[in-house]
Amino acid sequence: MTLTTTFAMRANRRLLLKGGAALTLGGLTLGRLGDLAAAQDESKLEIFSWLTSPGEAPALQALFDAFNAKYPDVEVINAAVAGGGGGAAQAVLQTRLQGNNPPDSWQTHIGRELIDQYVVPGYCLPISDIYEQEGFLEVMPQGLVEQASWESEQYSVPIGVHRGNGLFYNKSVLQDAGIAPPEKLAIDDFFAAADALKAKGVTGLALGSKDAFVPAQTFENVLLGVVGPETYRKLFAGEQPWDDPGVREAGDVLAHMLDYVNPDHSALTWDEAFALVIEGKAGMNTMGDWAWGEVIAKKAEDAIGWLNFPGTDGSFVLVVDSFPLPKGAPHPENSANWLRVIGSKEAQEAFNLLKGSIPARTDTDKSIFGPYHQWSMESFAKDELVPSCAHGQASSPQFKQALYDAATSFLVDRDVDALVVALSDAAAIDAENAS
């Protein structure tokens, strides 16, 4: 019997009796017996994500720094794959997981993405023991824990709560067009502002559709603004047909908004489009608040204003980043410790200050955050929380892809009927799969 297997046999009997679902040794989740051989090399930690933009990368580095502060001898390997929203990264990750070659952890949203894409297929180990040991249940909002759980076990640690339904604007560009800094924009007010900018020859709404999530995210924000949180939830939950008049109206509103976007949008990534607003070359941009991470990285806090996407006041579109514990992690001890560190108060403060999201933990020191974060925290505490489909939380991966495809086509053809048919067909497939 090898040394590692001996260690395993001293593992917690409770977990062994569970059929070795996950073994713990000295409080560390080591995965199944077969993983123990890999547990010998704990010199590295490979973290997979898509956090590569000027705002995202420093935030990720803050997590690496927090980890190395506690484990200075471990080499952290940054396995990030560029591409906003994780489209490219998730494709690479899927191949690695199918080839039984997981990193030590990866970025995933909570909700359907975590469960359908990673937990149900068996790529993750439960981490309820880590939640218990670290007291996460006492400090993480129940709603987030529920979306990070499957069959009463927790499977990922939420690190930050992004707000998907933002509208950011360049204060002086709007002022030059005679638009007072808006606190709130109804959809008609948006078009009045966009017309004023167009009259000055300025792009009203910067768009970067090179990243596949952007058309889908823009549509879901318009949809929320038109139909409201209750119908939005029902639509993505398959409880309301997509040929709803509100969906058609959202299509018409989005088609009208496209009259005000930069013509080169298909060549720009989300952060390149947002840079147009920071540089004063466009008036507004709808984006999740990772955009605020770009503002911070470029020290543009005084130049950029923010508000809810038109019509979405009172709602908060959840885009929650988290990290799971892979089955078969090459460095399982470091992998488990990564989750402990990123769930800590200190790491969540350091990360979210730079990322633009707010901490998942509720016990962080709110006084260290600036006006944008405070606004988002207040909204998270009082507004209707709805899951983003564009970022994988609201629906099956299949439906999300259908939304990506339909919204991307819509940018070109503005065909509302085609949009409704595509989403109705995808919902029918989901219903079929669920029956």
Residues that bind ligand GAL (CB under 6 A): 50-51, 56, 84-86, 109, 162, 270, 288, 290, 319, 321, 391
Distances (CA, A) of 76 to 34, 38, 62, 253: 24, 17, 12, 46
Least Å distance between CB 32 and ligand GAL?
30
Report the residue number, 204 or 288, with the smaller CB distance to ligand GAL: 288
Report the residue number, 242 or 338, with the smaller CB distance to ligand GAL: 338
Least Å distance between CB 246 and ligand GAL?
25
Report the residue number, 308 or 357, with the smaller CB distance to ligand GAL: 357
Hey, which bits of 327-433 come out as E strands? 358-359, 384-387
Report the residue number, 29 or 269, with the smaller CB distance to ligand GAL: 269
For 195-212, the DSSP string reads HHHHHTT-EEE---TTST
Least Å distance between CB 132 and ligand GAL?
27
Report the residue number, 194 or 212, with the smaller CB distance to ligand GAL: 212
- What 3-state DSSP class applies to 157? strand
Say which residue the tokens 């679902």 belong to: 21
Angle between the 56-70 and 332-342 helix axes, to the nearest 10 degrees?
110
Q: Which one-letter amino acid corresponds to residue 207?
A: L
Least Å distance between CB 284 and ligand GAL?
18
Tokens read off for 249: 């109206």
- In this structure, are residues 315 and 224 in contact, taking their beta carbons and an 8 Å threshold? yes
For 40-89, the DSSP string reads G--SEEEEE----STTHHHHHHHHHHHHHHH-TTSEEEE-----GGGHHH
Least Å distance between CB 60 and ligand GAL?
9
Say which residue the tokens 């402990």 belong to: 340
Number of H helices, E strands in the chain: 20, 17
Q: Which candidate, 317, 355, 276, 333, places its Cα nearest to that of 73? A: 333
C-alpha gyration radius of the chain: 22
Report the residue number, 160 or 330, with the smaller CB distance to ligand GAL: 160
- What 3-state DSSP class applies to 92? helix
Report the residue number, 164 or 182, with the smaller CB distance to ligand GAL: 164
Least Å distance between CB 270 and ligand GAL?
6
**Closest residue to ligand GAL, based on beta-carbon distance:** 84
| Pairwise CA distance, residues 120 & 117, whole Å | 7
Least Å distance between CB 86 and ligand GAL?
5
Q: Which candidate, 158, 101, 144, places its Cα nearest to that of 347? A: 158
Least Å distance between CB 48 and ligand GAL?
13
Report the residue number, 340 or 391, with the smaller CB distance to ligand GAL: 391
Report the residue number, 329 or 354, with the smaller CB distance to ligand GAL: 354
Least Å distance between CB 421 and ligand GAL?
27
Question: Which DSSP letter does residue 18 get?
Answer: T
